[in-house]
Amino acid sequence: MVAPRTLRSGLLAKIQREIDNKNAGKSALIRMKLNSILDEEFVDLLYKASAAGVQVELVVRGICAIRGGVPGLSKNIRVISILGRFLEHSRIFHFANDGENELWLGSADLMHRNLDRRVESMVMIKQTDHKRMLLRALDSYLAPTTAHWSMNIDGTWDRITKDSNGTDLTDMHQQVINWYRARG
């Protein structure tokens, strides 16, 4: 998918497909790791997905116009941020697609400038081991054992560094360093 021609419509169609899958009793899930979500059309459709019962998990480093966990609006949306040692630039989009686990990598955030005024691209990941690696990364970002910033329903953020027992949570960036050292 390439902006400004097909990226917006392609991603919107994938979100709508998850809504349709949920309404048909099929498995549905949307997970995104990106820098910013500001585009109104995406915000509205992700709220619609939440209302339909689709779990939406967002890892957003910067600007986020979505509020998760708001009763009657976004109870099925969770928004976290991972800030730390690295200035991350990766974007990962995961759609359950009724168990097919469709994954995309790209350069675009969900903002007008990226979707409508720049050339941005996304590619579907088809190779099984690459998909597994990306799913593992998303699982790690979103794990309850990973330190993160958690968005509250009023749009404020809480830094979560310890679990309910007071144990330190894992630093995601250190975990990435450890993964690469182990591959050595």
Please report the pLDDT score of residue 180 as a whole number: 84
Task: Please tell me the predicted confidence (pLDDT) of residue 12.
Answer: 98
**Among 34, 28, 22, which Cα is nearest to 66's?**
34
What 124-130 contacts at long range (C-beta under 8 Å, 24+ apart), as own/partner pairs, is none
Query: 106 near 113, Cβ under 8 Å?
Result: no
Largest Cα–Cα distance in the chain? 50
Rounded to 10 deg, the angle between the 172-183 and 128-142 helix axes is 150
List, in order of start, the domains of the chain with CATH numbers. Answer: 2-183 (3.30.870.10)
pLDDT tens digits along 22-58: 999 999 999 999 999 999 999 999 999 999 999 999 9
Residue 161 is predicted with a pLDDT of: 96
Low-confidence ranges of the chain (pLDDT < 50): none
Any idea what DSSP says for residue 120?
E
SS3 helix, strand, coil % of the chain, rounded to 5?
35, 25, 40
Pairing between β-strand 120-125 and β-strand 102-106 as defined by DSSP bridges? antiparallel
Separation in Å, CA 96 to CA 26, 32, 48, 111, 113: 10, 12, 17, 23, 27
